[in-house]
Each structure stands twice: as C-alpha cells, then as structure tokens.
Amino acid sequence: MKKLSILFLLLLLAIVSVKAQNANREKLDAYRVGFFTKKLNLTSEEAERFWPAYNDYQKKKTELLRERVMMVRDFNQNESSLSEKELTQIGDNLIATISRENEMAQDFHKRLKELLSPAKVIRYYQAENQWKAQLLNELQENRPAQRQNQKF
C-alpha cells in the first residue's frame, strides 16, 4: 500500500511538472509572438503569412538540433569504442546537419522576401538576435535566484 501511495505521488508530481512546462512554453510562445510582431511592426495580413512560415522553419531547425545533439551524445557515450571509420562518419554527419541548416536558412530567407518588405526582412534578423540576447539575459538573471532557492 505504501509503495502504491509513493507511486501515485510520483505520478502526480510528473503530471504537475509536465503541465507547468506546457504553461511555461505557452507563455514563452506568446511572448515571442508579441516580441517579433512589435519589432517587425507586422500588419495582421503579414502576421497571418509570417507565423506559419516562421513556425515551420523553427520546427525544422529544432529537429536538426535534436539530431545533432543525439550524434554528439552518442559520440560522448561511445567514443572509446568507436572505430576511426565510425568517428569519421559522425563528423561527416555533423557537418551534413550544419549544411542542411544553412540550406534551410537560405530557403527561409527566400520565403521571407516573398512575405515581407526588404526592410522587415532585415528587421527580422535584428529581432532574432535581440530575442536570443534577451532570453540569455533573462536566464542569467534568474540563475542566482534559482541557486538561492536550491540551497534551502
């Protein structure tokens, strides 16, 4: 009975954790939409065209990043047992993902030029850099607070 109670508690904690992560993801997505919409000064028509293209591009980039992370994780876990041929293949595969990411960026740039004015395309790249910088700053600002909370 005690094991069942502990299992139920762990399951409940996992569900709450997943819901909190989903809520945080939704807040972040809403914040991102507002950030880019404001920085790019998107009209409602531009936003209707921009967001599906942007979301598709980000999804594909995330898939490539996951693929790259899995390759590096596999290398880190198995480096000592990998042959020279396998190591070479991993290196080639990593470069291939970087090449695919560059091709996707070029395709997305072409798509942006169809969707937005040239000035807004440039603003997009500026906003993308500002977005990343802002997220990093917020992460760094929150780290000391997280460390203090973990000490207690």
For residue 8, the model assigns a pLDDT of 46
Domain of residue 19: give its range: 1-40
**Residue 73 host element (H or E):** helix 44-78
pTM of the model: 0.74
From its phi and psi, is residue 41 left (phi > 0), alpha (psi between -120 and 50) or beta? left
Q: Is residue 141 part of a domain?
A: no
Residue 116 and residue 53 share a domain: yes
Residue 108 and residue 48 share a domain: yes
Residue 79 and residue 63 share a domain: yes
Residue 65 has pLDDT above 90, yes or no: yes
Query: Is 53 within 8 Å of 111 (Cβ atoms)?
Result: yes
Residue 11 has pLDDT above 70, yes or no: no
Residue 15 and residue 76 share a domain: no
For residue 27, the model assigns a pLDDT of 83
| Number of domains comprising the chain | 2
Q: Is residue 140 part of a domain?
A: no
Residue 21 and residue 77 share a domain: no
